[in-house]
Structures are given as structure tokens and as C-alpha cells.
Amino acid sequence: MRSALAFVVLSVASLASSAAFALPTSIDAEYNLVATGLTIGHVSETFSRTGDQYAIRSVARSEGILKLFLDDQMTMQSSGRVIASGLQPLEFAQRRTNTSKGAVKATFDWSRGVMRTQYGDNDKEVPLPHDTQDRISVMYQFMNLKPGAGTVTMPMSNGKKVELYTYRFVDEQQLDTPAGKFDTLHYERVTASAKEGKAQVWLAKDRFNFPVRVVFDDPKGLRVEQILVALQAH
């Protein structure tokens, strides 16, 4: 009985270790944000992994014509563990430079199955489904995409609540970006109503399935494209 239990424990540990070492140890990425053909912002992102621990930092700042009306910067940070199923967030935070509006902090308590969320005057706990990602880790979770996956479903939290997101495979495309040409897997978000925001993502097949292009369509008709301009991954 003891030997069987030891075998199960070692097998689980081996799976977690394999997931960790399948991921890159560091990523530095730069994106431009484009709307109606104009560059309105820039995003700098870093991902680092040390053993089974990860950290992500994303800084978005306004540029071009948008900066004339909104000179601001938003920082999102995610940190947590790398387990057999991929990334497991422990903390998520979002803040803006020039205002406290929109600031949020979330702590993921996986042992209790709850997420503590703090924003404005709110400090509460909400249910935490298995494999939930946060606003920034969700894009890096695609690095753990199973080959041939036609549909990807995962809970995602914006730090305040948790919603279920489903992406379906569209096609394979060769994408030409300022950072170079990439053979990509194209996925789009499956929505149930016109009130939900749409999203499409193109993942570089030979760069750990890293997103090289993301398109967001707001229910009000605004489209914002996030396009890769520089990438270093090791």
C-alpha cells in the first residue's frame, strides 16, 4: 500500500515538474496597441519562471492621439505556481499611475477554493473554480495548449469576479508582424450574446504558443489590436 501511494505521489510530482520545464524561463515582449489604424498605446510584458514559480508583469501606456486626452499607465502583475495543468495564480494586482480608479487586488486560496478580492470599498471572497486564470496569466496559459485542441475552456478572473471563457480553433495562419513572420494557431472567443466582448488570438507555434496578435472587439463597436513588435523568449 505504501509503495503504491509513493508511486502516485512521485507521478504527480513528475507531472508538475514536466509542466514547469516545458515552459520558457523568461519572455520579454513588446506590443503596439492600434485602433482605427492609429497607434494609441504600447505594452511591455515580462514573464519569468524559476523552478515551479512564475511571475508576469504587464505595463500598458497611452501613446499618440490617446495620450493627448489620457496620459496614463496601467500595470498588471500576476504571480503563482506552475503545476501539471499549467499556471496557477496566487496573486493578481492591477493599478493605474494617475488614479486609484480601477485598482484591484486578488488573492487565490486554492486550498479553500475561494478568491479574496479587494477593490474600492469592497473586500470579499468569491468561489474559485479549478484552473482559474487571471487577466494576464490567461494569455500565458496558452503555452500549455494541448496539440490539436479544438476548444479551450477556462475560468478567468478580472480580480473582482470569475467568468467562464471558451475559445475555439479557427485555422492556421502565417502572420507577418513587426517582430517577424510566425506560423500561428488562430483561436477566437465563443460568445453567447452581443453584449459580450469578442477576442481573437494568434499563437506562435514555434515560440511556446506565445500570443503574437490579439484583437479585442468591444460590444459598442470599438476594435483594438495588440500586435507584437519585439520578442525574446528563452
pLDDT in tens, 59-94: 999 998 888 778 899 999 999 999 999 999 999 999
Instruction: Report how many domains make up the chain.
Output: 1
Tens of pLDDT, residue by residue over 170-205, are 999 999 999 999 999 999 999 999 899 999 999 999
Percent of the chain with pLDDT over 70: 91
Could you tell me if 200 and 188 are in contact, meaning their C-beta atoms sit under 8 angstroms apart?
yes
Tens of pLDDT, residue by residue over 114-144, are 999 999 999 999 999 999 999 999 999 999 9
Task: State the CATH number of the domain containing residue 56.
Answer: 2.50.20
Domain that holds residue 175: 2-233
Percent of the chain with pLDDT over 90: 84
C-alpha cell at 34: 492600434
Question: Residue 8: is its pLDDT beyond 90?
Answer: no
The predicted structure's pLDDT at residue 3: 42
Say whether 67 sits in a helix, a strand or coil. Answer: helix
Q: Across all residues in the chain, what is the average pLDDT?
A: 90
Cell numbers 500595470 label which residue? Answer: 75
Say whether 1 sits in a helix, a strand or coil. Answer: coil
Q: Which residues pair with 55 in a beta bridge?
A: 48, 79
The predicted structure's pLDDT at residue 9: 31
